[in-house]
């Protein structure tokens, strides 16, 4: 039986590395993550994550929110070691509403002085009725500690303009689109488009979760990732797929 591949965890819009302590299931599993610095475009972000995969051999990409966009950009390059991919709450181009565009434009006008207010409004747009108390405060703190105004607005421009749809059929890795039940930021059409266009993709909806499901329901999130990554993996010695429960 092959061991499970390392998980390469791509951060969300705030750019903070994943808090592995929130996922006790992964305590003894090889996991790679890191913080995202400011970068000029989606290709530069994909380059950063590609650097994390050097020396891993096989691996699974897990991208959350903005990280889903970055993971997808990397997967469209068909990297040799990528065996599975999980995308949650991302893929914004053509699916973010008018309010999201307006909020970003207003925030840029307010600039650095208005950045805390911009973050508060953004975090509020991510919430759902299923989030536990204190989620907003936690996310505001993560944003303000991990992402300055310049980086925030540049990432917003990238998320709202990077169009990866022409390359979706290039993705070779089996892909799970992990969708929250309630997402005011990215609607269900985004998941539908991914599942339709990526050759080997499926969707799993986690009921009673919102856009922040990685933070609010980490155990269910990790269980979904593990179940998908372990479904069937190629036997690299013989090339025949086999079940893997690791």
DSSP code per residue over 67-124: HHHHHHHHHTT--TTEEEEEEES---TTTS-HHHHHHHHHHHHHTTTTHHHHHHHHHH
Band (6; pLDDT cuts 50, 70, 90): very high
Q: Tell me how far apart the terminal alpha carbons of the chain are, to the nearest angstrom.
A: 8
Question: Average pLDDT of 224-244?
Answer: 60
Question: Average pLDDT of 227-244?
Answer: 54
DSSP state of 132: P
Residues 94, 163 contacting (CB under 8 angstroms) = yes
pLDDT tops 80 at residue 164: yes
Alpha-carbon span 136 to 65, nearest angstrom: 16
pLDDT per residue as tens digits for the range 188-231: 788 889 999 999 999 999 999 999 999 999 999 999 999 999 97
Question: Average pLDDT of 63-88?
Answer: 96
pLDDT per residue as tens digits for the range 7-49: 999 999 999 999 999 999 999 999 999 999 999 999 999 999 9
Higher pLDDT, 170 or 189: 170
**What domains can be seen in the chain, in order of their start residue?**
7-96+155-243 (3.40.50.1820)
pLDDT tops 50 at residue 246: no
pLDDT averaged over every residue in the chain: 87
Band (104; pLDDT cuts 50, 70, 90): low
pLDDT computed for residue 234 by the predictor: 47
pLDDT computed for residue 98 by the predictor: 60
Share of the chain above pLDDT 90, in %: 70
Nearest alpha-carbon partner for 182 in 127, 237, 142: 127
pLDDT tops 90 at residue 92: no
Look up the pTM and report it: 0.89
pLDDT computed for residue 56 by the predictor: 94
Q: Which of 56-65, 84-93, 108-117 is the most confident on average?
A: 56-65
């Amino acid at each position: 039986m092959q061991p499970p591949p390392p998980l390469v965890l791509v951060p969300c819009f705030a750019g903070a590395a994943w808090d592995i302590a929130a996922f006790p299931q992964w305590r003894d599993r090889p996991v790679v993550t890191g913080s995202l610095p400011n970068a000029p475009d989606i290709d530069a972000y994909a380059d950063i994550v590609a650097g994390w995969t050097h020396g891993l051999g096989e691996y699974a990409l897990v991208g959350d929110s903005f990280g889903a966009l970055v993971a997808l950009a990397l997967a469209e390059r068909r990297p040799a070691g990528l065996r599975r991919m999980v995308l949650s709450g991302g893929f914004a181009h053509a699916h973010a509403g008018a309010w999201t565009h307006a909020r970003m434009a207003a925030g840029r006008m307010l600039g650095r002085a208005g950045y805390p207010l911009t973050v508060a409004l953004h975090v509020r747009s991510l919430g759902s009725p299923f989030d536990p108390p204190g989620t907003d405060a936690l996310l505001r703190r993560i944003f303000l500690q991990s992402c300055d105004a310049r980086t925030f607005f540049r990432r917003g421009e990238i998320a709202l303009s990077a169009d990866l749809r022409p390359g979706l059929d290039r993705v070779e890795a089996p892909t799970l689109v992990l969708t929250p039940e309630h997402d005011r930021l990215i609607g269900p059409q985004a998941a539908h488009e991914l599942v339709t266009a990526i050759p080997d993709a499926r969707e799993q909806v986690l009921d009673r979760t919102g856009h922040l499901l990685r933070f609010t329901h980490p155990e269910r999130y990790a269980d979904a990732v593990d179940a998908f990554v372990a479904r069937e993996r190629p036997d690299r010695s013989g090339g025949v797929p086999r079940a893997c429960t690791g």
